[in-house]
Structure 1
């Protein structure tokens, strides 16, 4: 057990916000879930998680809400024990600030405090800073393995209600080797990125391949809701100089131990809240801002589904729309959807006549769709032109059916 009872600080009916990804306090979450039956009703908000403990949750014990069905939460969603909040990442933070989404308690993992008693928020900001400002209780897991990152939001030790010490290793992002489709997409999208561009990528095999194909670029800047090991490749290749002002702004790091070591005490990688990442004045200097996001499907109008297939919630709204629209605020920008032409089984086309799930991003927010078969430039196109261009980058075996739809 921790050095305190979690039941001393959490009340029935409380809303508990849990820090996400590498900032999730796994030991405290374990104790929370073990005590949940004594705290009915209890609502827990969590984000991206790689903690398998969530898969033990029974529906309503506690009620678990999230903006995403990523990582370990995907199985929870499949079991009907996850309630999805289909909102933009920027909206989630705003809902917490204005009380629409109440927060009574925060569970967080933090690096040790500095000599003045301040903790950085480590490798994940997101909704965390706003949640801590609203919370009655902050319970912290202090872990020297958590990187001390450069961030404007910090918390003083006096604001922490109770804390335990942990030396658990941080979760690392599961890596999947890129296949031929991802390698081809990486090369195709990289051709859209000139020297001096600002870049948003994300996580997964495709961003890694894009970064690898940018080895000849220079003067790139990163303005990404999430960074993975692809940042290391850009730095190693000299495409990004973290010694330059504003070289890298992000809200979350999720990758290998090497990535966490790289951002530790690194003033060249600044962790910021969503509002600062999307600041219009700063975006106006991006020329261009190339925003690359993934999807589950794109229909023949260019509408994007990044959330659900076959009635199962698999993804998120997340920051996709926020960042695509941020490209419009830049001096110049490109909103790019990058996805393999078929699903992982290779049997279903990712270019479809109609989306199977929600419309995450409308057609008017999309500039380019990329598959391993090329680019569909949707700028200044009619509906008929869009359809023709999208069919041309679909898997060859699906093109005839798409033309007849």
Structure 2
């Protein structure tokens, strides 16, 4: 159909699910936010949002809800305008599928359709895939900059209610430059990765540095919900051979234009739904499956806070627990938290006696804590042993205080 007014497709009370990362349709989002000023009780369900237009959302018009305070949503979290869904990413997917989160409208960015009228989902097979089947309205922004990726997940143009076109460049990863601390942490994590490992790394400075260290490995496989430009380190060096079926499986690519060109039509990179990424039968072939995640704090039992500090929500439950528990379904596996031992100023320890925010990952879900001071292996350890190993990888200036808090009764053997 010709260009349209988005207001004709919106109803008061609608839950509007919006594509994340490269699937975020910037033209449609702008129209939606403008229309939402005059339509009551709209809720925007977002994922990894990268468009700064979210910074200008009037309070409550619409209500903005997300499973993560990442990207451009962090400012909304800081002002109290972001409603957080504190649940696993797999639960968000399930809630959409079973109608617990009843999505009425989908806004998504797609590449042009193929000769048979099917649109690839591009560089993001995100949390709202199931909503494409159930939503009352699907509005798509068709952008030739979006790659056509190798995936069984597609949408036929007949399922789309209306479209707009744009040629806005795809967003890149907001990764900061690596520091010497990042490089040291990466080197410590790399000691855990043998030839033939299957990896989940995500994006960020530490994952990018890890891949530089493991370039000389052989037979590596990627099974990661998100890949970045670090994939080139592994493919170019031969550590990952994408001519081998199943060697690189992901749900999202986020990085440079080079990355989007690389995944465009590349049959060696499989883009899958989260259910497929975590399929037990496939995980059982991984030996080992090594998952590396980040955190804000780790306490002396090995519990992880990846969500908030100082009362400010800045992270997510996200897929951390999903992926950590996936290592238990593999033939062998390791769940790894990689984090600097202190905040950037060095005055606050990331290893703490007690978490000051939510417990994202349980002590029983975490195997390894890696900082720039070493690797704490928490497998088959008592509470007292865990505490001593974690203190050993804390920053030296904070170790005495941690021991005092430990012996002062904050942590006891149980």
C-alpha contact 2:175 2:203 (8 A) present in aligned 1: no
Name 1:33's counterpart in structure 2. Answer: 33
Name 1:383's counterpart in structure 2. Answer: 383
Name 2:349's counterpart in structure 1. Answer: 349
Name 2:368's counterpart in structure 1. Answer: 368
Name 1:302's counterpart in structure 2. Answer: 302
- Give, in angstroms, the shift of residue 225 of structure 1: 1.0
Q: Distance in 1 between matches of 2:125 and 2:68?
A: 16
Q: Distance in 1 between matches of 2:262 and 2:185?
A: 27
Name 1:271's counterpart in structure 2. Answer: 271
Name 2:170's counterpart in structure 1. Answer: 170
- Give, in angstroms, the shift of residue 125 of structure 1: 1.2
Q: Distance in 2 between matches of 1:345 and 1:100?
A: 43
C-alpha contact 1:142 1:164 (8 A) present in aligned 2: yes
* SS of aligned partner of 2:37: helix
- Give, in angstroms, the shift of residue 128 of structure 1: 2.2
User: Map of 1:77-92 to 2, 5 A cutoff?
Assistant: 77-92=77-92
Name 1:323's counterpart in structure 2. Answer: 323
Q: Distance in 2 between matches of 1:245 and 1:393?
A: 39
- Give, in angstroms, the shift of residue 346 of structure 1: 2.1
Name 1:99's counterpart in structure 2. Answer: 99
C-alpha contact 1:110 1:119 (8 A) present in aligned 2: yes
- TM-score, with normalisation over the residues of structure 1? 0.99
- Give, in angstroms, the shift of residue 58 of structure 1: 2.0
CA RMSD of aligned residues (A): 0.8
2:359 corresponds to 1:359: yes
* SS of aligned partner of 1:86: coil
**Residues 137-172 of structure 1 deviation map (CA, whole Å, 9 limit, x = unaligned):** 000000000010111210000111000111000001
Name 1:108's counterpart in structure 2. Answer: 108
* SS of aligned partner of 2:133: helix
After the TM superposition, which of the residue ranges 42-51 and 229-238 deviates more from structure 2?
Answer: 229-238
User: Map of 1:6-405 to 2, 5 A cutoff?
Assistant: 6-405=6-405
C-alpha contact 1:86 1:317 (8 A) present in aligned 2: yes
C-alpha contact 2:37 2:58 (8 A) present in aligned 1: no
Name structure 1 gaps, 5 residues minimum. Answer: none
**Residues 73-127 of structure 1 deviation map (CA, whole Å, 9 limit, x = unaligned):** 0001001110000111111000001100010000000001111100010111121
C-alpha contact 2:300 2:351 (8 A) present in aligned 1: yes
- Give, in angstroms, the shift of residue 344 of structure 1: 2.5
Q: Distance in 1 between matches of 2:226 and 2:82?
A: 23
Q: Distance in 2 between matches of 1:17 and 1:356?
A: 32
- TM-score, with normalisation over the residues of structure 2? 0.97
- Give, in angstroms, the shift of residue 233 of structure 1: 1.4
Q: Distance in 2 between matches of 1:141 and 1:344?
A: 40
C-alpha contact 1:241 1:247 (8 A) present in aligned 2: yes
C-alpha contact 1:253 1:260 (8 A) present in aligned 2: yes
**Structure 1 runs of 4+ with >6 Å offset:** none
**Residues 232-263 of structure 1 deviation map (CA, whole Å, 9 limit, x = unaligned):** 21111111111111011111111111111111
**Residues 340-368 of structure 1 deviation map (CA, whole Å, 9 limit, x = unaligned):** 00112322100000001000000001111
Q: Distance in 2 between matches of 1:299 and 1:397?
A: 17
- Give, in angstroms, the shift of residue 330 of structure 1: 0.2
- Give, in angstroms, the shift of residue 177 of structure 1: 1.3
Q: Distance in 2 between matches of 1:53 and 1:16?
A: 16
C-alpha contact 1:226 1:250 (8 A) present in aligned 2: yes
State the number of aligned residues.
Answer: 404
Q: Distance in 1 between matches of 2:100 and 2:343?
A: 37
Q: Distance in 2 between matches of 1:374 and 1:70?
A: 28
C-alpha contact 1:59 1:82 (8 A) present in aligned 2: no
